[in-house]
C-alpha cells in the first residue's frame, strides 16, 4: 500500500468518488444533487488521503464505503440502507473496472503496481483511462435508464433487495481481499481495495 500525494486527491480521488456516487445511486434510481455530490466527493477524497496512510490493510475501502454512506445519508437525506447499498454497488463497479483495466495494462506494458507509486505520470495516465471507461458506463446507465432496483419508488418492497445487495457486496469485497492475501501477485486490486 502506498500513500497518495495531495495532488492525487484532487486529480484522481475526487473524480473517482464522484463517479462511484453517480453510478451507484443512478443504478437504484436515487436522485441526487450535483452540488452535494461534489461536496461528498471532496470530503471522501480528503479522508482518503489520511485513511490510506493508516495501517488498515484490506480495510481502507470498507472504511471509505461506510464514510460515503454516512455522508450520503446526511447530505441527501435518504435512508441509511439505501445509501449503503448504492455506495457498495458504485464501489464494486469502480473496483471491477479498475481490476479489468489494470490487469490488461499491466500485461501489455509489463509494469506493476510498484510503477504506479514510483511514476506519478503513469498513475495519472492509467487513471484517465479508467475514468473514461467509468464515465462511459455512467452515460450508458443514464441514457438507457438502467436500474438494478428502483429504490426511489418501491420503498415498501425494498428491504429484501437491500439485504441481498449488501450481503453480495460484502461477499465480493471479502473475496477480493482474500484474493489479494492468498495471491500476492494479484496486484491490480491492491491499488483500489487496500
Q: pTM higher than 0.75 for the full model?
A: yes
**Domain assignments of the chain as residue spans, ordered by start:** 6-193
CA distances, 142 to each of 19, 81, 102, 128, 145 (Å):
12, 22, 25, 21, 5
pLDDT value for 98 = 87
pLDDT value for 138 = 96
- C-alpha to C-alpha distance for 90 and 75, rounded to whole angstroms: 17
Determine contact, residues 112/187, Cβ cutoff 8 Å.
Answer: yes
pLDDT value for 173 = 63
- C-alpha to C-alpha distance for 114 and 109, rounded to whole angstroms: 13
Determine contact, residues 44/35, Cβ cutoff 8 Å.
Answer: no
Strand positions, DSSP E, the chain: none
Taking Cα atoms as reference points, which of 76, 129, 73 lies closest to residue 106?
129
CA distances, 193 to each of 72, 76, 155, 179 (Å):
20, 26, 31, 11
- C-alpha to C-alpha distance for 44 and 21, rounded to whole angstroms: 11
Write out the DSSP string of 17-60: HHHHHHHHHHTTT----HHHHHHHHHHHHHHHHHHTTSS-TTTH
Taking Cα atoms as reference points, which of 129, 141, 39 lies closest to residue 90?
141
Determine contact, residues 112/106, Cβ cutoff 8 Å.
Answer: yes
pLDDT value for 159 = 64
pLDDT value for 3 = 58
Q: What is the pLDDT along the chain (194 residues), one digit of tens a residue?
A: 455 666 766 788 899 999 999 999 999 899 999 999 999 999 998 888 788 777 766 677 888 889 999 999 999 999 888 898 899 889 988 988 988 888 888 888 888 877 877 777 888 888 899 999 999 999 999 999 988 888 876 555 556 666 666 666 666 665 655 454 444 454 444 444 44
pLDDT value for 193 = 44
Amino acid at each position: 500500500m502506498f500513500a497518495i500525494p495531495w495532488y492525487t486527491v484532487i486529480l484522481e480521488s475526487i473524480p473517482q468518488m464522484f463517479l462511484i456516487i453517480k453510478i451507484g445511486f443512478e443504478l437504484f434510481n436515487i436522485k441526487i444533487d450535483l452540488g452535494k455530490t461534489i461536496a461528498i466527493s471532496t470530503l471522501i477524497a480528503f479522508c482518503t488521503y489520511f485513511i490510506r496512510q493508516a495501517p488498515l490493510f484490506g480495510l481502507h475501502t470498507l472504511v471509505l464505503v461506510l464514510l460515503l454512506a454516512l455522508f450520503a445519508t446526511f447530505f441527501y437525506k435518504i435512508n441509511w440502507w439505501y445509501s449503503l447499498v448504492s455506495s457498495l454497488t458504485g464501489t464494486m463497479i469502480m473496483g471491477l473496472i479498475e481490476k479489468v483495466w489494470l490487469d490488461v495494462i499491466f500485461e501489455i506494458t509489463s509494469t506493476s503496481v510498484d510503477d504506479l507509486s514510483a511514476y506519478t505520470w503513469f498513475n495519472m495516465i492509467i487513471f484517465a483511462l479508467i475514468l473514461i471507461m467509468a464515465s462511459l458506463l455512467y452515460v450508458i446507465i443514464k441514457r438507457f435508464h438502467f436500474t438494478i432496483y428502483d429504490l426511489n419508488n418501491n420503498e415498501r418492497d425494498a428491504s429484501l433487495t437491500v439485504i441481498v445487495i449488501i450481503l453480495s457486496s460484502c461477499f465480493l469485497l471479502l473475496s477480493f481481499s482474500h484474493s489479494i492475501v492468498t495471491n500476492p501477485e494479484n496486484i491490480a486490486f491492491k491499488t483500489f481495495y487496500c
